[in-house]
Amino acid sequence: MATSAPLITLVRGDITDQQVDVIVNAANSSLLGGGGVDGAIHRRGGGSILADCRKLRASHYGRGLPTGRAVATTAGKLQAQYVVHTVGPVHQPGLTGEAERAQSELLASCYRESMRLARELGATSIAFPAISTGVYRWPLADGARVAVRTVREAAQAPLLDVRFVLFDDAAYAHFEQALVTAG
């Protein structure tokens, strides 16, 4: 049986400019908006995204979306079919051993769960921001390593066009390095 390898690419820019099936939002557990990627997505996507988020809060996620999980809404006016909202962990410096691994696993889970949900939705393309590396202060070098490793492992048909959309040169350079290191 023929198989296709996933194409993982880096884009320097604003995630709300992407034309893909799924745009991933670095949300918070309230699902009701915020700054950074979250603010940009709600601004550009319009009120229907927030309306869907409110419905999710009123139904399945009354206590909010737990860290590491993902849910889908309409993409409103964005050039995408869906926004997948995921909640990254807030970085806690100084953790070691099992606690540090558990924290990293939550970040990996954001990428893995977003891709699983996107596949369920029949998506072939997905754009990720560098989850947790802004307001949630995850160091970029490590955030990039976790992102690239997890996406490599999770990429499978039909979701073969996976993009990381990096807002600035520093983020782009860290993801480039992570891709090279991952081989």
Q: Which residues bind ligand AR6 (CB under 6 A)?
A: 14-16, 26-28, 34-38, 40, 88, 129-136, 165, 167, 171
In the annotation, is 168 catalytic?
no
Q: Which is nearer to ligand AR6, 98 or 168 (CB)?
A: 168
Q: How many CA atoms lie within 13 A of 43 on its CB side?
A: 11
Question: Between 21 and 38, whose beta carbon lies closer to ligand AR6?
Answer: 38
Least distance between ligand AR6 and beta carbon 157 (Å): 26
For ligand AR6, the closer of residues 6 and 36 by Cβ is 36
Q: Is 97 exposed, middle or buried (0-12, 13-18, 19+ CB in 10 A)?
A: exposed
- What's the CA gap between 109 and 36, in Å, rounded? 20
Q: Which is nearer to ligand AR6, 45 or 117 (by Cβ)?
A: 45
d(CA 182, CA 6): 14
Backbone torsion region of residue 49, taken as left when φ is above 0, otherwise alpha when ψ lies between -120 and 50, otherwise beta: alpha
| Strands 22-27 and 161-166, bridge-based pairing | unpaired
The least CB distance from residue 30 to ligand AR6, in Å, is 8
In 59-124, where does DSSP find H-type helix? 97-120
Identified catalytic residue from 21, 38, 52, 169? 38
Smallest distance, Å, CB 171 to ligand AR6? 5
State the minimum distance, in angstroms, from the CB of residue 13 to ligand AR6. Answer: 7
Catalytic residues, by residue number, are 38
